[in-house]
Amino acid sequence: MAKGVAKHQPVERDIAVIVSEQVTHAQLMNAIHTAPTEGLLRDVVLFDIYRPKAESTGGLAAGEKSLAVRLSLHSDEATLTEAQIDIAMNAVLAQLTQQVAARLRS
């Protein structure tokens, strides 16, 4: 079945979070998908996993890894405002902090 062309452009944002080595892909995705984004979150893709080499920590403590995800946000009603995007992104980050003890990688 054919889908109509979206009237409003989706917005993509990339974030990298530091989590314990024990955090699974499923736990990460569950935390993101359960964030209260008012239906704006449409897709999430994990696109990078960083584990430091033994001689360099890369800002990570022992037993930690960095996970980078691309979030796609979209509204069927209107083009998203920066405020809407910020609210959705903050909701995702708060959920990641609460569910998997993630912190934003700087």
**pLDDT digit string (tens) for 38-94?**
999 999 999 999 988 766 666 788 899 999 999 999 998 899 999 999 999 999 999
Domain covering 11-104 assigned CATH 3.30.70.380 in the classification: yes
pLDDT bucket at 98, cuts 50 / 70 / 90: very high
* CA-closest candidate to residue 13, choices 65, 90, 78: 90
Domain ranges of the chain: 11-104
Burial of 37 from C-beta contacts in 10 A (0-12 / 13-18 / 19+): buried
